[in-house]
Amino acid sequence: MVRINENFIKIPATYLFSEIAKRIARHKLENPSADIIRMGIGDVTLPLPEACVEAMIKAAEEQRVSETFRGYGPEQGYDFLRRSIIENDFKALGIEADEIFVSDGAKSDTGNIGDIFSPNNKVAIANPSYPVYVDTNVMGGRAGEPTENGGWTDLIFLRCDESNGFVPELPAEPVDIIYLCYPNNPTGITLTKEQLRLWVDYARTNRAVILYDAAYEAFITEEDVPHSIYEIEGAKEVAIEFRSYSKTAGFTGMRCAYTVVPKTVMAFSESGENISLNKLWLRRHTTKFNGTSYVVQRAAEATYTPEGKEQVRNLVRYYMENARIIRQALQSVELKVFGGINSPYLWAKTPDGMNSWEYFDFLLKKKNIVCTPGAGFGSGGEGYVRFSAFGDRDRILEATERLVR
């Protein structure tokens, strides 16, 4: 009799986005003329950079004739893209091309990375956080059983709240795998080099691995904020880094990302042997994946051309100006707001002790504005909502006027 992976049925169904959709639909039904502005979604809105469109069309044309047609590419990504990545972002950090694994998305990579680890590892995850970290560890058998407050018996949740400025403290008990995401989704917070160094040192001392999600690094505007964990000494021994073109270059519908697995990052076998995670991930990547679409890799490569870089910079600048406007508006109505300086996300404390959903309802019904209830990112998000700077400038200005009104 065929048996399911029991862990799958432990995961509570996610109602966040369907519940948001349901409440919007009800509000619209009751107020057919309501002009609703969506500030909740983490999806980009500006079109793809011209350089990427052009590169993609050129690549599509190559597929038209035998002479330039390309079939299977290398699972780890084409050399042209891996070399561009190294040249532009990682050369100074000593990362090499065979430590780069091109993929179809950071969601896939942060989810699939669990394949190479034992179910017996102790995993630490920030609360609140991107739900994929928790859900994929549940699926992989590392979470234990669900608890009453939405937690899991075997996961270590790193508390992030106002008292620690949403910067998690080192865990009190030893952990083996640590998920860090900076600039953070959902709080928009970043770590300084000094703060990140604490984690790298912790991982080195405890022979732990850091899974560092840097999908939002392009939005960093301040000086002392590391773009890559490899800016920290010793990180190449303990950290895997996830990067993505999704938010940086408007690739959410294109699907391209990459993961950096330095050959010096080790984990241990039961017999105590040191095993290079680069070798294990290569095995996983070449066995369960067949490469990212050629035309998409050409589009990603185009982000490193002079025009591409300029166009990407303009996208980021636009969204960060949105973030500045939203931040100012939220502050002017005396909401406590975090993030939005090195991140497209703003994390606002709900006023008057409202919970996430109450404030969501208030904004929807009174202002026709949609945000994301913080509780959707874990119990640590209760009492907060997330605003996103992805959106049309005019609509953002209209929304901020409504907020202030």
Residues in region 291-310 near its own copies by CB under 8 A: 291-296
Based on CB atoms, which residue is closest to its own copies, 225 or 389? 389
The stretch among 29-37, 108-116, 154-162, 194-202 that binds its own copies (CB under 8 A) is 108-116
Structure-block tokens of residue 20:
């948001």
Based on CB atoms, which residue is closest to its own copies, 56 or 225? 56
Q: Least distance in Å: CB of 138 to its own copies? A: 9
C-alpha to C-alpha distance for 343 and 347, rounded to whole angstroms: 10
Structure-block tokens of residue 224:
């002392």
Helices (H), 246-305: 277-288, 294-302
Distance of CA 296 to the CA centre of its chain: 20
C-alpha to C-alpha distance for 326 and 349, rounded to whole angstroms: 14
Q: Least distance in Å: CB of 7 to its own copies? A: 9
* Near its own copies in 237-276, by CB under 8 A: 250, 252-255, 267-270, 275
Based on CB atoms, which residue is closest to its own copies, 14 or 88? 14
DSSP conformational letter for 153: T
Based on CB atoms, which residue is closest to its own copies, 107 or 197? 107
C-alpha to C-alpha distance for 354 and 361, rounded to whole angstroms: 10
Q: Does 2 engage in binding with its own copies (CB under 8 A)?
A: yes
* Residue 346 identity (one-letter amino acid): L
Other CB atoms within 10 Å distance of the CB of residue 234: 14
C-alpha to C-alpha distance for 41 and 168, rounded to whole angstroms: 25
Residue of the chain from 120, 164, 192, 331 that contacts its own copies (CB under 8 A): 120
* Near its own copies in 347-386, by CB under 8 A: none
C-alpha to C-alpha distance for 53 and 300, rounded to whole angstroms: 10
Output phi, psi for 358, to 5 deg: -65, -45
Residues 63, 350 contacting (CB under 8 angstroms): no
Q: Least distance in Å: CB of 42 to its own copies? A: 9
Q: What is the dihedral of CA 263, 264, 266, 272, to 10 degrees?
A: 110
Q: Does 314 engage in binding with its own copies (CB under 8 A)?
A: no
Q: Does 139 engage in binding with its own copies (CB under 8 A)?
A: yes
Residue-level length of the chain: 405
The stretch among 52-60, 92-100, 181-189, 396-404 that binds its own copies (CB under 8 A) is 52-60
Walk across the sheet containing 100-103 and list its strands.
Answer: 100-103, 257-260, 239-244, 209-213, 177-181, 123-127, 155-159
C-alpha to C-alpha distance for 158 and 147, rounded to whole angstroms: 16
* Near its own copies in 87-106, by CB under 8 A: 104-105
* Near its own copies in 181-210, by CB under 8 A: 206-209
Based on CB atoms, which residue is closest to its own copies, 154 or 361? 154
Q: Least distance in Å: CB of 120 to its own copies? A: 6
Based on CB atoms, which residue is closest to its own copies, 102 or 225? 102
C-alpha to C-alpha distance for 160 and 113, rounded to whole angstroms: 24
Q: Least distance in Å: CB of 164 to its own copies? A: 25
Q: Least distance in Å: CB of 350 to its own copies? A: 27
Q: Does 397 engage in binding with its own copies (CB under 8 A)?
A: no
Q: Return the closest-CA partner of residue 181 out of 147, 210, 150, 144.
A: 210
The stretch among 67-75, 143-151, 314-322, 355-363 that binds its own copies (CB under 8 A) is 67-75
Q: Does 221 engage in binding with its own copies (CB under 8 A)?
A: no
